[in-house]
Amino acid sequence: MQRVLIPIDFTKRSRSVLTHITKICNPEKYHFILYHNYAKSNTDEILISVEDIIENEISNRLEKEAAFLKSQIGSRYMSFEIKVDKGELVSTLSDSCENNSIDLVVLGSENGNSWTSSSNGKEIETFYLVKYLKCPVLIIPQESAISYPNEVVFATRLNSTLNENEVAPLVKVLNDSKAHLDIVSFTKEEKQDKENVNKVAKNVDGYFKQNPHEIHVISEADPYSGILQFSKEHKADLLCIMYRKTSFLERMLRESVSKQMLNDVNLPIMVLKQNI
């Protein structure tokens, strides 16, 4: 059973995730962990009891969120737990993902942000969390109209070699939803030929044999615009992209595009991780 961690900051943003997540992740095949983090006190031991009170209150609120999540699936079985951490969000969240063998983190997103600190109201950007978490991330925009996936677009590089673990979260969603997959790669070359299509096919060979899919190689100097246009034309319900660890300069250029995409695209985005 896949393990999914959902950060809950008790905003409309995180409630929106609970409203829609079971449309993408079959609740009978996933174990959900509802997670909250609060700032650790730097004072003396007298406040330990205060932190206990805070943690109990948070646990009670998470239980209510879990009850809401269960209400979305009716009488179907759902496996879940709640978890409360204290400390700096990114480090504790990252540690929790590693210690709990998390397969996927699901973030709500509004105006490019995914977390509001309960201590100081500070917003944390979606891209910041995506960048520093090592596991795959699914982003659900607060205002998007989520439906059960029928059409999934996976944007990948022409010469990018993938492995089974990297694409596993996408394969899981495809197997559960029976959605059609469009694998799209962009090149600056004006002429499209069979060789380019074969390059993409070779890199994804075997991973999507059980899923109906097509491969597209498109001439487009601006991949960001190309992905948006292709997703719109094919009425995508879910967009999947790959986040890679590359050279510093290349990473800076790619990060600016990735950040823009996470801020602008109003449909769920699954971010797979490569070479992280």
Spatial contact of 132 and 259, defined as CB atoms under 8 Å apart: no
Looking at the structure of the chain, the number of domains it has is 2
Q: Does any domain span residue 200?
A: yes
Spatial contact of 106 and 21, defined as CB atoms under 8 Å apart: yes
Mean pLDDT of 31-45: 80
Q: Does any domain span residue 146?
A: no
33 vs 143 pLDDT, higher one: 33
196 vs 114 pLDDT, higher one: 114
> What tens digit of pLDDT does each residue of 159-207 get?
667 788 889 999 999 999 999 999 988 776 655 556 666 766 776 767 8
134 vs 143 pLDDT, higher one: 134
Give the range among 88-92, 102-106, 159-163, 233-237 with minimum mean pLDDT. Answer: 159-163
* Rounded Cα–Cα distance for residues 32 and 138 (Å): 13
Q: Is 70 exceeded by the pLDDT of residue 247?
A: no
Q: Across the chain, what does the average pLDDT equal?
A: 84
CATH of the domain at 260: 3.40.50.620
Q: Are residues 132 and 20 in the same domain?
A: yes
Q: Does any domain span residue 13?
A: yes
Q: What is the pLDDT of residue 189?
A: 64
223 vs 26 pLDDT, higher one: 26
Lookup: tokens for 38: 């609060």
Q: What is the pLDDT of residue 172?
A: 93
Residue 128 belongs to what domain range?
Answer: 2-141
Handedness of CA 253, 274, 174, 187 (dihedral sign): positive
Q: Is 50 exceeded by the pLDDT of residue 249?
A: no
Q: Does any domain span residue 28?
A: yes
Q: Is 50 exceeded by the pLDDT of residue 82?
A: yes
**C-alpha torsion angle, residues 143, 265, 230, 235 (rounded to 10):** -10
Q: Is 60 exceeded by the pLDDT of residue 243?
A: yes
Last residue of a domain, one of 141, 173, 188: 141
Q: Are residues 125 and 39 in the same domain?
A: yes
Q: Is 90 exceeded by the pLDDT of residue 21?
A: yes
Nearest residue to 116 via CA among 223, 20, 214, 36: 36
Beta strands in the chain (DSSP E): 2-7, 30-38, 79-86, 104-109, 113-116, 123-125, 137-141, 151-155, 180-187, 213-219, 238-244, 269-274
Last residue of a domain, one of 141, 169, 197: 141
Q: What is the pLDDT of residue 41?
A: 65
Task: Provide the CA 44 distance to its chain's centre, in angstroms.
Answer: 38
Q: Are residues 110 and 212 in the same domain?
A: no
Last residue of a domain, one of 141, 166, 192: 141
Q: What is the pLDDT of residue 108?
A: 94
149 vs 219 pLDDT, higher one: 149
Q: Is 50 exceeded by the pLDDT of residue 248?
A: no
Share of the chain above pLDDT 70, in %: 84
Nearest 5°: the CA angle 163, 204, 267 is 90
Spatial contact of 259 and 269, defined as CB atoms under 8 Å apart: no
Which residues, in sequence order, are CB contacts of 195 under 8 Å at separation 6+? none
Q: Are residues 106 and 170 in the same domain?
A: no
* Rounded Cα–Cα distance for residues 85 and 40 (Å): 9
Share of the chain above pLDDT 90, in %: 47
Q: Are residues 203 and 262 in the same domain?
A: yes
259 vs 3 pLDDT, higher one: 3
Lookup: tokens for 223: 């991949």
